[in-house]
């Protein structure tokens, strides 16, 4: 029989205002196994913990039940307290009488009754608890960063700076990400490439960092500290060790009709290409889908002109398998597709563009060499209208429910840059709200109005109608003046919502990292653990976690790096002892458990089984406790009841249910 | 519940629209072809319902100037659909009068070459029973 102590917390008034804690103490005293019960205003305080420690010693407790907040808050606290007092930490159970009881009930009588029932269930479980020992697992001192944008680069640089090896896997031919497509950055208006390329160079030159560009993560297995990852290095068709980056192949390539992804399809590129001039590595790839040689077999111009003999049409995809201790997701974002927003005529008129397209048009290396012009007739525009919140803050299925966060600032930037360079151009911004929290952000927006006289109008645009003369009639409203506004614009710029990179779903599935309804990766805690995924060993960097601008992304990238460094600095990790275990006597070797195990933790071996009247070799299930995450799927799948979860055995669960139903 | 509150509740029920979802972007008013002829503008409908002031809405010119083209319903990013609120207010008035505002037989006579097509479409939708 256990000797159980029950400790009921008031949590100030959080619990005590709704639950009669004295009555709970009085009633649980009568439960089987309970030898001690008391209440205290704050059990988690030092004084509260010392009461528990004291009772463990004086009452010789073998089990503890704390009736308090959610185990997610303080289970670890009370288990450590028990351990310090010489009690196995897994002999402590929490009855959640705050989140599950006092916070959601108003009636004291009912809430008290429920608190007693919850306590009774925990007591019933502790009666069947057995001491468990946490095992140890090793830590591979190498990190993987998925995505080579500013988030991934910064995380990798910071991890490398601490002395650990780190690999960046980037899907496109070059690192740099979205930031490399930007012309200027707010709120300082410095050139994006000027501040990004030094970081790209640093990442490439750092001997601790390995870049896998034009590569994708294909398979992930293992667990925190010991992941095994397959990386597919797609065939570049160019030998990276021979190429000098002279660029002649790209000049001579006769296939020039492929939409240029880097310029958002505003112009075309050759089939052999580097995405942009400062690309790292500065080695082109052959886009086999658009290459004449690969499609028809006749061409080979690039191979003929390459002085270094670097072109290799025979190159094949390569799979690299590596071990990592930690994985950082930094997959970034894209703009949403605007095909559902017919009213803004984006697909009808080439002069209705997205902000990212404007970014390329304004850039000296862009499709217009930095000249502001209409994509239809290359004439300079006179009237430009910006429309905010296109697809952001939407309640319908056309858009996204969230604020994309960066649009107010980049639109102010665009408006200012245009008014600065082309003072004759009228710039109108239709906004719903101008949201500019951040250091020097609101001042930046005010400058657009006060210094550059950008015309901000409160009201969303209803529709944009392309006119026969090539102009765009913008139907808007001025809600503050209460009249409709019609503007004959010759260029319309849409602040399209941003969304997580569509590939993130696939990657999250591979990592068993959770994502929310908007495909943003979920944090372990939205406030207190914002750069960690609930899946141990997976960390989040940049927009894959939620909309953010460059300063925020860089801060978060550094925070993710610190978490990775903290993990890699450990030689061993304690493993969760609440893993599955097969009873070899009951196991019939049917494989049902192995089939449902999401972690590949179950294998089979022939074991000699001995019991009274039994002595034979049987094929039985064996759980690798380092891989097992304790999800319990196998215990449900097992037809003979041989599989059980330590710390959450079937008997314990039934005892809890019985206690509740008593 | 006061009479005004009851009326507002009725409007919400008939329209199936939730005025609290409105973020005051004004896309409805920007889209409205009858905006200039309205005394209460489409984006203001929501406020009138939220302030339980259905009476003013029922008295307004806007109620009968709305073409029911439903451009606002189509484009509303918050799913508030102000056109449905107006439609509901009209229903309320019609119910109080105990008869339809228009009889289906009267429509051909009222047809005007200048009449916007939306109104026709809308009339068909309204009087299809």
The pLDDT of residue B129 is above 60: no
Coil, helix or strand for B115?
A: coil
Q: Are A320 and A243 in contact (CB under 8 A)?
A: no
Tokens of B75: 């484009």
**Phi and psi at residue A191, to the nearest 5°:** -70, 130
CA-CA distance, A537 to A569, in Å (whole number)? 13
Nearest CA in chain A to B22: A395
Over the stretch A518-561, which tens digit does the pLDDT of each residue have?
Answer: 999 999 999 999 999 988 999 999 999 999 999 999 999 999 99
What does DSSP assign to residue A89?
Answer: G
Inter-residue contact A660 to A100 (CB < 8 Å): no
Chain A residues touching B78 at Cβ < 8 A:
393-396
Element of type H or E holding A303: helix A301-305
Q: Does a cis peptide bond (omega within 30 degrees of 0) precede residue A281?
A: yes
- DSSP code per residue over A442-504: HHHHHHHHHTT--EEEES---EEEE-TTS-EEEEEEETTTTEEEEEEESEEEEEEPEEE-TTH
**Residue A623 CA neighbour count, 13 Å, CB half:** 30
Residue A420 lies in a domain: yes
CB A85 within 8 A of CB A51: no
Partner residue facing A432 (CB), from B25, B29, B76? B25
- From residue A654, how far is each of A129, A323, B125 by CA, in Å? 13, 41, 60
Q: Are residues A480 and A599 in the same domain?
A: no
Q: Are residues A393 and A419 in the same domain?
A: yes
At A613 the pLDDT is 84
Interchain CB distance below 8 Å, B77 and A459: no
Contact B78 A395 (CB under 8 A): yes
Chain B residues closer than 8 Å to A395 by CB: 21, 77-80
Distances (CA, A) of A147 to A230, A330, A433: 15, 5, 32
Q: Is B53 in CB contact (< 8 Å) with chain A?
A: no
Arithmetic mean of pLDDT, B118-127 = 63
Interface of A with B (CB under 8 A): 343, 389, 393-396, 398-399, 432, 458-463, 475-477, 479, 482, 484-485
> Which is more confident, A647 or B127?
A647
> Are residues B35 and A394, on separate chains, in Cβ contact within 8 Å?
no
Say how far apart CA B123 and CA B129 lie, in whole Å. Answer: 11
CA distance A369 to A379: 14
User: Do A161 and A229 reside in the same domain of the chain?
Assistant: yes
Q: How far is CA A463 from CA A142, A324, A341, in A?
A: 52, 51, 9
Backbone angles phi and psi of B13, in degrees to 5: -70, -50
Nearest CA in chain A to B78: A395
- Domain termination site, one of A475, A499, A523: A499
Provide the residue range defining the domain that includes A294: 248-305
In a shared domain, residues A591 and A492: no
| Distance of residue B17 Cα from the nearest chain A Cα, in angstroms | 12
Residue A544, domain member (yes or no): yes
Task: Check: CB of residue A310 under 8 Å from CB of residue A242.
Answer: yes
Whether A506 and A492 share a structural domain: no
Do A114 and A148 reside in the same domain of the chain? no
Interchain contact, B30 vs A462, CB within 8 Å: yes
Question: Which element (helix H / strand E) includes A273?
Answer: strand A272-273
CB contact under 8 A, A389 and B26: no
How far apart CA A169 and CA A175 sit, in angstroms, is 9
Single out the residue in A463, A484, A499 at which a domain terminates.
A499
Closest-CA distance, A389 to chain B, in angstroms, reads: 10
Residue in B with minimal Cα distance to A474: B30
Helix (H, G, I), strand (E, B) or coil at A285: strand
Contact predicate A490/A350, CB 8 Å: no
Is B30 close to A484, i.e. CB distance below 8 A? yes
For residue A622, what are the contacts with CB-CB under 8 A and spacing of at least 6? A582, A602, A603, A604, A605, A607
Taking the CA of residue A261 as centre, how many other CA atoms within 13 Å lie in the half-sphere pointing to its CB? 12
Co-location of A356 and A463 in the same domain = yes
With contacts defined as CB-CB under 8 Å, which chain B residues touch A338?
none
Confirm whether A657 is domain-assigned. no
**Cβ–Cβ below 8 Å for B30 and A393:** no
Q: Which of B30, B35, B77 sits opposite A393 (nearest CB)?
A: B77
Record: contact B26-A482, CB cut-off 8 A: no
B35: nearest CA partner in chain A: A484
* A396 neighbourhood in chain B, CB within 8 Å: 76-79
Chain A residue numbers with beta carbons less than 8 Å from the beta carbon of B36 are 484
Residues A209 and A257 reside in one and the same domain? no
Residues of A in contact with B69 (CB under 8 A): none
Whether B41 sits inside 8 A of A463 (CB atoms) is no
Does residue A612 fall inside a structural domain?
Answer: yes
Q: Which residues fall within 8 angstroms of residue B74, CB to CB, at 6 or more apart? A: none
Of B30, B36, B41, the CB nearest to A460: B30
User: Is residue A126 a contact partner of residue A1, using CB atoms and an 8 Å limit?
Assistant: no
Search chain A and give the residue with CA nearest B71. Answer: A462
User: Where do the H-state alpha helices sit in A147-300?
Assistant: 150-161, 192-205, 248-252, 292-296
CA nearest to B80 within chain A: A395
| pLDDT value at residue A399 | 95
Q: What is the pLDDT of residue B101?
A: 60
User: Is the domain of A372 the same as that of A449?
Assistant: yes
**Cβ-defined contact of A475 to B43 (cutoff 8 Å):** no
Q: Is residue A662 part of a domain?
A: no
- Going by their DSSP bridges, the two strands A580-582 and A538-540 should be labelled as unpaired
The per-residue pLDDT for A598 is 81
Task: Say how many residues make up chain B.
Answer: 129
Q: How many Å apart are CA A137 and CA A398, to the nearest integer? A: 47
B71 in contact with chain A, both atoms CB, cutoff 8 A: yes
Q: Confirm if A66 and A48 have CB atoms less than 8 A apart.
A: no
pLDDT profile of chain A (662 residues), mean per 10: 95 96 96 96 96 96 97 94 96 97 96 97 96 92 98 98 98 97 96 96 97 97 92 97 95 96 96 96 96 95 96 96 98 96 96 98 96 96 98 94 97 97 97 96 97 97 96 97 96 98 95 94 93 94 97 98 98 91 91 89 90 88 87 93 94 96 90
Number of Cβ within 10 Å of residue A600's Cβ equals 12
To the nearest 10 degrees (0 to 180), the angle between helices A150-161 and A550-568 is 40
The 10 Å Cβ neighbour count of residue B67 is: 20
Q: Do A479 and B24 touch (CB under 8 A)?
A: yes
Whole-number pLDDT of residue B91: 83
> Between B105 and A223, whose confidence is greater?
A223
Across the interface, of B30, B77, B79, the residue whose CB is closest to A459 is B30
- Residue A197 sits in a domain whose CATH number is 3.50.50.60
Residue A311 lies in a domain: no
- Terminal CA-CA length for chain B: 33
Q: What distance in Å separates the CA atoms of residue B50 and residue B46, rounded to the nearest whole number?
A: 6
Do B26 and A458 lie within an 8 Å CB cutoff? yes
Tell me the pairing of strands A142-146 and A326-329.
parallel
Which residues in chain A are closer than 8 Å to B27, comparing Cβ atoms? 459-462, 477
Query: Which residues of chain A lie closer than 8 angstroms to B35, CB-CB?
Result: 477, 484
Residue A661 lies in a domain: no
Q: Is pTM beyond 0.90 here?
A: no
CB contacts, 8 Å: A475 with chain B = 30-31
**Element of type H or E holding A56:** helix A46-58
Q: Which of B26, B43, B75 sits opposite A343 (nearest CB)?
A: B75
Best of A342, A435, A479 to disrupt the B interface (most B CBs within 10 Å) is: A479
Any A CB within 8 A of B46 CB: no
Between chains, do A477 and B35 touch, taking CB under 8 Å as contact? yes
Smallest CA-to-CA distance from A175 within A320, A287, A279, A285 is with A279
Which strand (E) or helix (H) includes residue A37? Answer: strand A34-40
> Tell me, what's the ipTM?
0.82
- pLDDT-derived band at B108 (thresholds 50, 70, 90) equals confident
Q: How far apart are CA A238 and CA A313, in angstroms?
A: 8
Would you say domain B3-101 falls under CATH 3.40.50.80? Answer: no
pLDDT score of B126 more than 70: no
Cβ-contact A475, A465 below 8 angstroms: yes
Are both A321 and A436 inside the same structural domain?
no
A396 closest CB neighbour out of B30, B31, B79: B79
Q: Is A272 helix (H, G, I), strand (E, B) or coil?
A: strand
Using CA atoms, how far residue A5 sits from A72, A111, A131, A160, A539, in Å, is: 21, 22, 16, 49, 39
B25 touches chain A (CB under 8 A): yes
pLDDT value of position B120: 66
Which DSSP state fits A525? Answer: B
Distance from CA of A480 to the nearest CA of B (A): 10
A607 neighbors A620 (Cβ within 8 angstroms): yes
Burial category of A188 from C-beta neighbours within 10 Å (exposed 0-12, middle 13-18, buried 19 and up): exposed
Residue A591 lies in a domain: yes
Average pLDDT over residues B93-121: 69
Write the DSSP assignment of A609-621 as a string of letters. Answer: EEETTEEEEEEEE
A373 and A394 inside one domain:
yes
Residue B118: DSSP 8-state = H
Nearest to B26 among A343, A398, A460 (CB): A460
Number of domains in chain A: 5
Interface contact flag, A462 B43, Cβ < 8 Å:
no
B126 in contact with A at a CB cutoff of 8 Å? no
* Gap from B51 CA to chain A (nearest CA, Å): 19
């Amino acid at each position: 029989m256990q000797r159980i102590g029950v400790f009921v917390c008031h949590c100030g008034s959080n619990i005590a205002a709704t639950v009669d804690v004295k009555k709970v103490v009085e009633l649980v005293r009568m439960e089987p196994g309970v030898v001690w019960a008391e209440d205290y205003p704050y059990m988690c305080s030092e004084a509260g913990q010392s009461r528990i420690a004291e009772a463990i010693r004086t009452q010789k407790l073998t089990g503890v039940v704390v009736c308090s907040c959610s185990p997610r808050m303080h289970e670890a606290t009370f288990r450590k307290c028990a351990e310090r007092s010489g009690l196995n930490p897994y002999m402590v159970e929490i009855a959640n009488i705050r989140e599950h009881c006092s916070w959601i009930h108003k009636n004291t009588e009912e809430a008290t009754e429920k608190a007693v029932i919850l306590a009774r269930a925990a007591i019933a479980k502790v009666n069947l608890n057995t001491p468990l020992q946490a095992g140890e697992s090793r830590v591979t001192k190498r990190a993987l960063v998925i995505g080579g944008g500013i988030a991934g680069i910064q995380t990798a640089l910071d991890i490398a700076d601490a002395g650990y090896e780190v690999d960046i896997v980037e899907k496109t031919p070059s690192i740099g990400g979205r930031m490399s497509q930007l012309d200027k950055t707010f709120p300082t208006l410095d050139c994006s490439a000027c501040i990004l390329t030094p970081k790209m160079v640093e990442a490439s030159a750092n001997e601790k960092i390995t870049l896998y560009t034009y590569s994708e993560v294909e398979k992930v297995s293992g667990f925190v500290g010991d992941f095994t990852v397959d990386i597919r290095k797609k065939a570049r068709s160019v030998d990276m060790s021979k190429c000098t980056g002279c660029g002649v192949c790209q000049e001579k390539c006769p296939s020039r009709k492929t939409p240029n992804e880097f310029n958002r399809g505003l112009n075309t590129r050759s089939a052999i290409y580097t995405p942009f001039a400062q690309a790292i590595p500065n080695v082109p790839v052959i886009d086999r889908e658009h290459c004449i040689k690969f499609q028809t077999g006749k061409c080979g111009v690039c191979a003929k002109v390459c002085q270094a003999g670097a072109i290799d049409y025979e190159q094949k995809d390569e799979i690299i398998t590596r071990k990592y201790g930690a994985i950082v997701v930094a997959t970034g974002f894209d703009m949403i597709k605007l095909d559902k927003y017919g009213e803004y005529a984006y697909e009808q008129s080439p002069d209705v563009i997205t902000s990212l397209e404007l970014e390329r048009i304004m850039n000296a290396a862009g499709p217009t060499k930095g000249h502001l012009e209409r994509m239809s007739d290359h004439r300079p525009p006179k009237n430009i209208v910006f429309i905010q919140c296109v697809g952001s803050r939407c309640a319908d299925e056309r858009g996204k429910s969230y604020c994309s966060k960066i649009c107010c600032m980049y639109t102010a930037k665009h408006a200012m840059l245009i008014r600065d360079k082309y003072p004759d151009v009228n710039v109108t911004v239709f906004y719903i709200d101008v949201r500019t929290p951040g250091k020097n952000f609101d001042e930046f927006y005010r400058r657009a109005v006060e210094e550059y006289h950008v015309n901000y109008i409160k009201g969303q645009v209803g529709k944009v109608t392309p006119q026969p003369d090539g102009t765009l009639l913008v139907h808007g409203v001025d809600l503050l003046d209460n009249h409709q506004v019609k503007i004959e614009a010759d260029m319309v710029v849409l602040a399209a919502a941003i969304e997580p990179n569509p590939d993130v779903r696939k990657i999250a599935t591979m990592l068993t990292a959770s994502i929310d309804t908007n495909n943003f990766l979920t944090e372990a805690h939205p406030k207190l653990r914002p750069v960690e995924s609930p899946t141990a060993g997976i960390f989040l960097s940049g927009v894959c976690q939620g909309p953010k601008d460059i300063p925020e992304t860089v801060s978060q990238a550094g925070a993710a790096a610190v978490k990775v460094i903290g993990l890699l600095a450990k030689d061993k990790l304690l493993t969760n002892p609440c893993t599955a275990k097969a009873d070899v006597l009951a196991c019939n070797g049917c494989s049902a458990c192995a089939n449902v195990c999401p972690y590949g933790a179950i294998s089979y071996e022939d074991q000699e089984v001995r019991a009274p009247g039994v002595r034979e070799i049987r094929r039985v299930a064996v759980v690798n406790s380092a891989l097992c995450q304790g999800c319990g799927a196998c215990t449900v799948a097992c037809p003979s009841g041989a599989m059980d979860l330590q710390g959450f055995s079937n008997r314990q669960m039934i005892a809890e249910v019985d206690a509740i139903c008593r | 519940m006061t009479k005004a509150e009851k009326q507002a509740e009725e409007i919400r029920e008939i329209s199936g629209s939730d005025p609290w979802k409105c973020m005051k972007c004004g896309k409805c008013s920007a889209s409205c072809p009858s905006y200039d002829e309205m005394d209460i503008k489409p984006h203001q409908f929501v406020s009138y319902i939220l302030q339980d002031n259905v009476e003013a809405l029922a008295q307004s010119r806007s109620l009968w100037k709305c073409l029911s083209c439903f451009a606002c319903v189509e484009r509303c990013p918050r799913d508030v659909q102000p056109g449905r609120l107006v439609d509901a207010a009209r229903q309320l008035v019609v119910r109080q009068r105990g008869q339809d505002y228009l009889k289906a037989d009267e429509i051909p006579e009222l047809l005007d070459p200048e009449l916007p097509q939306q109104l026709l479409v809308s009339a068909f939708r309204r009087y299809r029973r």
